[in-house]
Amino acid sequence: MTVDYRGAAGAPGNGTFYGMQVARGVAALLVVLFHASLTLQARHMTGVFDRGGIGVDIFFVISGFVIYLTAQGKPWRTFLARRLARIVPLYWLFLTAKLALIVVSGRDPTGMANDPLYLLGSYVFLPLRSVYPLIGAGWTLNFEMYFYVIAAVVLGMLPARRFAMALTLYMGATVLAGGVLRGWTSAADVPLLGLLSPLCLEFLAGIWIARYWGRGRRWPAWLSGVVIGAAVVAIAIGPADLHYTPWRALYWGIPAALVIAGLVQLEPVVGFRRWTLPLLLGDASYSIYLAHTAVLPLFDPLVRRLPPYAVLQGAALVLGSAVTGVMVHLLIERRLVRWSSRWLGLRARPPGPAAADSGVTKAE
């Protein structure tokens, strides 16, 4: 869904950061590629593409960027309502569908679907029993919703000029507290402790990138190329399996922030708006992210019939996930956002080429 900031300070003339949208699509495909490699690895066809997990870190940085610019001049209720309209309906649809499938089939891969507190946590974006909700990929949405709520509280309590600094102080303090608490216990024992992860600092990176841009700070295009290139090299040569470690914010969060900072600076000079297919994938990134968790196990039996080459079967899994996600976006997600926006009393801007925001990111 296109990152649209009409009226926000520092936004492009038409209110859209097309480069950011391209980044959304790439981030979604990286996550799909990571999970597709897990599917193939289970059949001993390839190793695991761990670095695909950085797609989540890119989403978190983008979310911070989106939060900062879209919060400017908005009442906290409007800000939070827009976030809910974008994130909740589609997620609840997938969550309910998975729960229904578990009930009908009697097969519960989580082993916790009969735990009311676990199900409640899955629906309200709180890790009450486990850091992973019923839809495993939804762990990232717990972070998204946590940050949205804190941002809304800060927005309601302080003037806009204090927004970035107040969030930084709060998140910095809670991340430090989380580090201390992890010395006594773990997120496995107290799942809510997982929300005090250094991953929250990635949202802050996006906020400060937006603040820097909004103040009219620019640098030359060649420097953006150097910054993005350095980030890609850092990802390639750095550690791979960082998914559940505190070091993730360092080794993946910083490169993700550099990529987004570089793309924002390139917006006025690169014709991202003409990149039709990447922009479509960016529009559908939230749907791709949610749908691929169901698509991969469904498509795997079909993909097995292809010649036994990891590249071929992996490409088929990624392509199937992307196409399904685009269809979900066009046929379901856009309608859900319109309906939920009206129900919440918002002026509806259906996600697509004209506007909007995703959860994983994923604006107004």
Domain boundaries, the chain: 18-343
Helix axes 276-283, 18-41, angle to 10 degrees: 70
With left for phi above 0 and alpha for psi between -120 and 50, is residue 197 left, alpha or beta? beta
With H, G, I as helix, E, B as strand and everything else as coil, classify residue 4: strand
pLDDT surpasses 60 at 344: yes
Using one digit for the tens of pLDDT, what is the confidence trace for 148-200?
999 999 999 988 889 999 999 999 999 999 888 887 877 777 888 889 999 99
Mean pLDDT of 285-312: 91
pLDDT surpasses 70 at 351: no
Most confident range (mean pLDDT) of 52-66, 184-198, 262-276 is: 52-66
Backbone angles phi, psi at 45, to 5 degrees: -100, -25
Residue 252 contacts by C-beta under 8 Å, 6 or more apart in sequence? 53, 54, 57, 235, 238, 242
Mean pLDDT of 284-289: 96
Cα Rg, the chain, nearest whole Å: 20
Mean pLDDT of 261-272: 88
Q: In this structure, are residues 126 and 192 in contact, taking their beta carbons and an 8 Å threshold?
A: yes
Average predicted confidence (pLDDT) for the chain: 87
Angstrom distance (rounded) from CA 172 to CA 166: 10
Between 325 and 345, the higher pLDDT residue: 325
Mean pLDDT of 98-107: 91
Residue 231's pLDDT is what? 95
pLDDT surpasses 70 at 9: no
DSSP 8-state secondary structure symbol assigned to residue 355: B
Model pTM score: 0.90
Mean pLDDT of 297-316: 90
Residue 33's pLDDT is what? 95
pLDDT surpasses 50 at 364: no
pLDDT band at 347 (very low <50, low <70, confident <90, very high): low
Using one digit for the tens of pLDDT, what is the confidence trace for 192-234?
888 999 999 999 999 999 998 888 888 888 899 999 999 999 9
Mean pLDDT of 32-56: 88
With H, G, I as helix, E, B as strand and everything else as coil, classify residue 33: helix
Own/partner pairs, 129-132, CB within 8 angstroms, 24+ separation: 129/191, 130/191, 131/187, 131/188, 131/191, 131/194
Residue 73: how many other CB atoms lie within 10 Å: 11
Residue 209's pLDDT is what? 95
pLDDT surpasses 80 at 13: no
Residue 349's pLDDT is what? 52
Mean pLDDT of 99-126: 92
Closest CA to 287 of 80, 17, 24, 23: 24
* Percent of the chain at pLDDT exceeding 70: 91
User: Any alpha helices (H) in 106-199, and if so which ranges?
Assistant: 116-124, 139-157, 163-181
